[in-house]
Amino acid sequence: MFLEGFNAARDFGRLHDIASVLIRYGFGDVVRRLGMSSILEKAGKVLHWKDAEQFAHMEPPQRICRALEDLGPSFVKLGQILATRVDLFAPEWVDEFEKLQDQVPPRSFDELRAQLEEDLGRPPEEVFDNLDTEALAAASIAQVHRARLGDGTEVILKIRYPGIRPVVEADLRLLTRFAELAEQEMSELKRFHPQELVRQFSRSLRRELDLASESRSAERFAKNFSDDPYIIIPKVYWQWTCERLNVQEYIKGIPGRNLAALETAGFDRKRLARRGAEAVLKMVVSDGFFHADPHPGNVYYLPDNRIAFVDFGMVGRLSEKRRYQVVDLLAGLVEQHAAKVTEVLLEWAGETQLDEEALTADIDAFIDQYHSVPLKQLYLSAILTDLTRLLRDHTLSLPPDLALLIKAFVTLEGLGQQLDPDFVMVEVAEPFLTRALLARYTPAALAKRGWRSFATLIDVVSDLPKDLNRLLNIARRGALQVHVDVTRLKQFGDQLDRAASRVTVGNVTAALIIGSSIVMTIEGGPTLLGLPLFGLLGFIGAVIGGIWLLISIWRSGRKR
């Protein structure tokens, strides 16, 4: 089963490791149902099923996260992506996924030197002064070292580990196959959309492997905040930056986790909380390009109450249409406008089958619980958490970009409240949303959208004669075909075809039994084992037909 559509024999070793870890944490049934155990046994691997007993006392979220940690960097990052899907996983699962730390022991600088010299084109000591061979920080994909340029500017070198891409690609191949099998063989996992989750994860991880892509994101943020002196983005030194190396300005400041140092240094924590929130709201509402992981480790506080954002490996993108939807949703939540919230959620649901009346009633009740609540007591993180629970109850999932956005808002409000216990995200968001709604209907914005629609209409009209001519030519050649794809009708036809085949085989089997019985009573003719040969052959054919019928019926029952 597992090897169907999968021919990478070189991944058998990794497959064995994955299966062994899953079994150790009590997921042996998953291994069996995915067909992994049988293929590994054929490959000569031995699995120790008894090891799972010591973890039986753990709750499923804990066991899953421990397994992801043991499986290595790719799977830890998968857990971090799952932590953003608050629309799919209950809070106890998200809490466990958030505990997954992307921290690993640093590698020796000697292991990195050859690759670094290849990327720089010369020994690193000829490019940088005071290159610190001790790592400043280390993660699963790269580690960071401090250095100084010839002019005295302090920089950091983010160096990707040599040989990591083939390992990651092997894990992604296996994960893709796991997701396909999970949707086919484990119906209880379909609501989590495993294939879509793996696609989202693959895009994110491949983007993170490209350190030049991270640098381009940093420059885009720097351009968006070029007019704001209080938001700092590290400068990128492109002459040394490439896919495997990222050279950026070193940020000297107080890490976001060191709140005690802020008091000592005399920072205005209320102002920092507001400026951070306004910066992320600008990213989302105005720019459509936001830092998807604004936790304290990625934030530094600088003199004059400035804020520096670092680590742009995980970013979110929102189209103009999506930004309009997000503004409508947030405005509906803040204004307690149930109809507006329902309209946006139904648009996101697309063609998903759902009970629209039940969803509308639940949203009305959800909005009503915040009726007359003072603005200072409205917490956006709690509202969004309740909203995602409602989505899970209706088996709805958000597009990946919106799942990242909700997670970013929840993280941001938590960071703001650490700085200022009286911080209320809704208070900061309300004027942003009002300005965004008004900006949508300014003469310039209306003229821009009108011109786009007019240009699209002109393109359609101008291409109409050409399209009609092509259609007529196809019709003249007799190549015009109309396809009607009715999935349910096709399934019904397949069922009728199988039923007709069984009836036919059943009739032939019955005829063989009756005919053979008659032949058995007639004397003369060839014999085998003292029985009439043709009568015996008829009974054998009837047995074969009966066995085929039983197997066909059994298989049909399993599929249902």
Catalytic residues: 293
Extract the runs of DSSP E, i.e. beta strands, from 62-212. 137-138, 142-148, 154-160
Q: How far apart are CA 129 and CA 266, in angstroms?
A: 34
Element (H, E) at 289: strand 289-291
Compute the Cα dihedral for 126, 129, 131, 136 and give only its sign: negative
Distant-in-sequence, close-in-space partners of 455: CB < 8 Å, separation ≥ 6: none
Instruction: Output the CA torsion 446→428→280→363 (10° steps).
Output: -70
Distant-in-sequence, close-in-space partners of 244: CB < 8 Å, separation ≥ 6: 115, 119, 159, 160, 211
DSSP calls for 222-266: HHHTTT-TTEE-PPB-TTT-BTTEEEEEPP-SEETT-HHHHHHHT
* DSSP summary character for residue 106: P
Burial of 370 (0-12, 13-18, 19+ CB in 10 A): middle
Q: How far apart are CA 112 and CA 160, in angstroms?
A: 8
Q: How far apart are CA 41 and CA 38, in angstroms?
A: 5
Q: Residue 480: what residue type?
A: L
Residue 201's nearest CA partner among 96, 114, 78 is 78
Q: Is 45 left (phi over 0), alpha (psi -120 to 50) or beta?
A: beta
Strand partners, 138: 143
Residue 163's nearest CA partner among 144, 143, 141 is 141
C-alpha pair distances (Å), 302 with each of 86, 149, 262, 264, 375: 32, 22, 10, 13, 31
3-class secondary-structure state, position 160: strand
Element (H, E) at 301: strand 299-302
Q: How many residues does the chain have?
A: 560
Q: How far apart are CA 138 and CA 158, in angstroms?
A: 9
Strand partners, 299: 309
